[in-house]
């Protein structure tokens, strides 16, 4: 039996929710709008909402002046590389914990989670020093490794909770039919696990893309991704609102789109399966 909902009530809910939703989204909307204005229009008083001369000029300027493509490419490599390597390392671990659990499985999972809780600033200097010694400072390789490691616990956890949902009987049936461990993983487990793996990749790509502690502290000119590139706007010269907006829009647009696909995985991934 469902409760009867009056149209009046539904209308009030709709107006209220849309109002709040637009208010929360407004900073992003405003940034996108500002990116299409000229610098003078961007600071116009009263602010111009929709009726201004739309221009793509800022996008061109940002691309030309700042070598934007290189930062973008660094972001893609760092986020993509760290996620892929992390998933490759995590799949076997999550598989074995989900299907061949032992007494220690729970402890290992919780311990992995605890490494995620280590505050980055507490180990900043050691990592910095190791990076200098190994010549990894301001390299994409270095960042791929560090970001892979900080996200590895989340990747293992997410994969573990997805693998847990695959019925073990199917694997046993495959084993009975004489499938080797390798065949079992490639032909039985993988096809069933693909949606979970894809979700894991998606969420961790987003987390890696937005990571802004190690990327700010371990890069300079060469390996800086978009997080660090945007930070360079914190001490600007002259009028820059429209250009800042254009750079920001380009940096967040791909992730906003990916993010909208990953709402459900976000809950599971970031609460370590505690809320589903």
Residues 86-115 within binding reach of another protein (CB under 8 A): 89-90, 92-93, 95-97, 99-100, 102, 106, 108-110, 112-115
Provide, rounded to whole angstroms, the least separation between the CB of residue 160 and another protein. 9
Q: Return the range that interacts with another protein (CB under 8 A); candidates 54-62, 136-144, 189-197, 234-242.
A: 234-242
Q: Is 228 in the site for another protein (CB under 8 A)?
A: yes
**What is the contact mask toward another protein in residues 176 to 195, using x (rule: CB under 8 A)?**
-----x--------------
User: According to CB under 8 A, which residues from 17 to 46 bind another protein?
Assistant: 17-18, 20-22, 24-25, 27-28, 30-31, 34, 43, 45-46
Q: Which is nearer to another protein, 113 or 198 (CB)?
A: 113
Binding positions for another protein, 117-176, rule CB under 8 A: 117-130, 149, 152-153, 156
Q: Is 60 in the site for another protein (CB under 8 A)?
A: no
Closest separation between CB of residue 45 and another protein, Å? 5
Choosing from 82, 200, 204, 227, the residue that interacts with another protein (CB under 8 A) is 227
- Nearest Cα to Cα of residue 141 among 88, 212, 197, 85: 85
Q: Measured from the CB of residue 81, what is the shortest distance to another protein in angstroms?
A: 15
Structure tokens at 68: 């934007």
48 binds another protein per the rule CB under 8 A: no
Q: How far is the CB of 177 from another protein (least distance, A)?
A: 15
Binding of another protein by 210 (CB under 8 A): yes
Q: Count Cβ neighbours within 10 Å for each residue of 128-154 and write b for 16 or more, e otherwise.
A: eeebeeeebbebbebbbbbbbbbbbbb
Q: Does residue 231 contact residue 31 with C-beta atoms inside 8 Å?
A: no
Region of residue 178 (phi > 0: left; psi between -120 and 50: alpha; otherwise: beta): left
Contact 202, 172 (CB under 8 A): no
Q: Is the peptide bond before 35 cis (omega within 30 degrees of 0)?
A: no
| Closer by beta carbon to another protein, 124 or else 198 | 124
Binder of another protein out of 61, 166, 198, 270 (CB under 8 A):
270
What residue has token string 């998933």?
87
Is the distance from CB of 269 to CB of 154 less than 8 angstroms? yes
If one asks whether residue 234 binds another protein (CB under 8 A), the answer comes out as yes
Least Å from the CB of residue 83 to another protein = 15
CB 163 within 8 A of CB 95: yes
Residue 101, phi then psi, degrees to nearest 5:
-70, 145
Residue pair 75/254 in contact (Cβ under 8 Å)? The answer is no
Residue 48 CB, shortest distance to another protein, in Å, is 11
Enumerate residues 241-260 that contact another protein by CB under 8 A. 241, 244-245, 248, 251-252, 255-256, 258-260
Residue written as token pair 């992995």: 112
- Report how far residue 224's alpha carbon sits from residue 158's, in angstroms, rounded to the nearest whole number: 28
C-alpha 102/C-alpha 20 separation (Å) is 48
Quick one: how far is CA 222 from the chain centroid?
Answer: 22
């Amino acid at each position: 039996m469902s409760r009867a909902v009056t149209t009046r009530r539904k209308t009030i809910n709709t107006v209220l929710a849309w109002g709040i939703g637009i208010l929360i989204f407004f900073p992003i909307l405003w940034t996108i709008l500002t990116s299409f204005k000229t610098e003078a229009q961007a600071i116009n008083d009263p602010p111009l909402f929709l009726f201004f001369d739309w221009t793509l000029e800022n996008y061109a300027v940002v691309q030309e002046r700042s070598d934007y493509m290189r930062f973008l490419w660094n972001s893609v490599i760092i986020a993509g590389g760290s996620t892929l390597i992390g998933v490759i390392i995590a799949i076997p671990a999550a598989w074995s914990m989900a299907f061949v659990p032992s007494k220690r499985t729970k402890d290992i999972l919780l311990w992995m989670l605890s490494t995620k809780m280590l505050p980055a600033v507490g180990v900043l200097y050691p990592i910095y020093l190791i990076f200098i010694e190994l010549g990894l400072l301001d390299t994409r390789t270095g960042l791929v490794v560090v970001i892979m490691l900080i996200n590895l616990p989340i990747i293992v956890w997410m994969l573990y909770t997805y693998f847990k949902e695959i019925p073990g009987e199917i694997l046993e049936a495959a084993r009975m039919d004489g499938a080797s461990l390798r065949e079992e993983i490639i032909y039985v487990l993988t096809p069933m696990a693909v949606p979970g793996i894809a979700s894991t990749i998606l969420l961790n790509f987003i987390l890696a893309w937005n990571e802004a502690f190690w990327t700010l502290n371990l890069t300079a000119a060469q390996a800086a991704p978009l997080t660090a590139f945007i930070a360079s706007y914190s001490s600007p010269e002259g009028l820059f609102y429209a250009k800042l907006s254009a750079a920001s829009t380009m940096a967040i647009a791909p992730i906003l789109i990916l993010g909208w696909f990953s709402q459900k995985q976000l809950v599971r991934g970031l609460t370590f399966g505690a809320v589903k």
